[in-house]
């Protein structure tokens, strides 16, 4: 594993309120973005065709991107939901939502070929199947989060350290979701998998910190620094790996991996903030003030 030098932060310079203020403010902004998106679109996050149903057509066409996109739009009778270019290739991914009406995959393929487009692949997801997939995927995410919460409370059996882990994990999911809306990343099976991975990453770093502070001997700040050396190194290594994967996937036009990598990079960066600011402030309050009340 790559070795990172973790600077020893002087936490005595900051109050618990100061440490918790930034993570909570960022979480509040993320929740406002998600709520606003829900009000405007009826969904807290943009959903891909895997959940809404629709057709995805990959076509090859030469020429400047602007002209190619105009030619693609003119080729179909239905308006595309999105047109994404694949860098370093003359391939475009054209997405049609299920609301396009009676235009089916066969008709779209015929229209593309009639316009001189080279159809590389075409796939369709029905609206009913997409709805079932959405229910299953989001249900699995909710069950995973609930199971994690129950396990954490069973492990520590104390409210404040346990709720600190749960709040951090909740924030680690909400902030990337809000950023997905801002960056135009759709919710798909791949990004749901990334969110599930973030639950695991968050719990790892938070439990590591809690164990060092609550169950090991030594000064509070000594235990914090020991946990940080392992936890920060682990998280930064993962961030570097995800950045490399995202760049590579983008260059080769693998949109699914690029989306997963982007969500994980933002989620892991969020986890660093939540673990060593929000979680730590709650643990310090519990150790020095909460247990004495």
Pairing status of strand 118-125 against strand 91-97: unpaired
**H or E stretch covering 17:** helix 16-41
Distance (Å) of CA 133 to CA 51, 94, 105, 154, 234: 6, 21, 20, 31, 33
Question: How far is CA 91 from its chain centroid?
Answer: 26
**This model's pTM is above 0.75:** yes
Beta-carbon contacts of 138 under 8 Å, excluding residues fewer than 6 positions away, are 192
Q: What is the pLDDT of residues 63-72, one digit of tens each?
A: 787 888 888 8
Measure the CA–CA gap between 163 and 52, rounded to whole angstroms.
34
Q: What is the pLDDT of residues 192-241, one digit of tens each?
A: 999 999 998 889 999 999 999 988 777 889 999 999 999 999 999 999 99
Q: Which residue has the higher pLDDT, 277 or 122?
A: 277
């Amino acid at each position: 594993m790559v070795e990172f030098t973790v600077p020893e932060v002087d936490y005595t310079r900051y109050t618990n309120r100061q440490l918790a203020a930034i993570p909570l403010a960022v979480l509040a902004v993320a929740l406002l973005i998600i709520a606003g998106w829900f009000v405007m679109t009826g969904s807290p996050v943009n959903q891909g065709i895997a959940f809404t149903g629709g057709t995805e057509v990959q076509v090859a066409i030469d020429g400047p991107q602007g002209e190619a996109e105009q030619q693609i739009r003119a080729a179909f009778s239905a308006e595309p939901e999105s047109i994404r270019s694949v860098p370093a290739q003359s391939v475009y991914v054209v997405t049609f939502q299920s609301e396009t009406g009676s235009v089916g995959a066969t008709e779209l393929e015929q229209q593309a070929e009639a316009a001189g487009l080279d159809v590389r692949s075409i796939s369709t997801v029905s609206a009913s199947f997409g709805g079932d997939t959405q229910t299953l995927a989001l249900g699995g995410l909710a069950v995973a989060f609930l199971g994690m919460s129950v396990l954490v409370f069973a492990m520590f059996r104390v409210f404040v350290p346990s709720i600190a882990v749960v709040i951090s994990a909740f924030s680690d999911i909400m902030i990337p979701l809000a950023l997905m809306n801002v960056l135009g990343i759709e919710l798909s099976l791949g990004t749901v998998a990334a969110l599930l991975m973030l639950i695991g990453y968050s719990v790892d770093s938070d439990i590591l910190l809690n164990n060092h502070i609550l169950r090991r001997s030594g000064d509070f700040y000594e235990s914090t620094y020991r946990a940080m050396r392992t936890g920060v190194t682990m998280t930064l290594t993962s961030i570097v790996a995800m950045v490399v994967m995202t760049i590579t996937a983008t260059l080769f036009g693998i949109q699914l991996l690029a989306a997963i990598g982007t969500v994980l990079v933002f989620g892991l960066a969020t986890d660093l903030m939540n673990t060593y600011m929000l979680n730590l402030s709650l643990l310090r309050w519990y150790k020095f003030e909460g247990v004495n009340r």
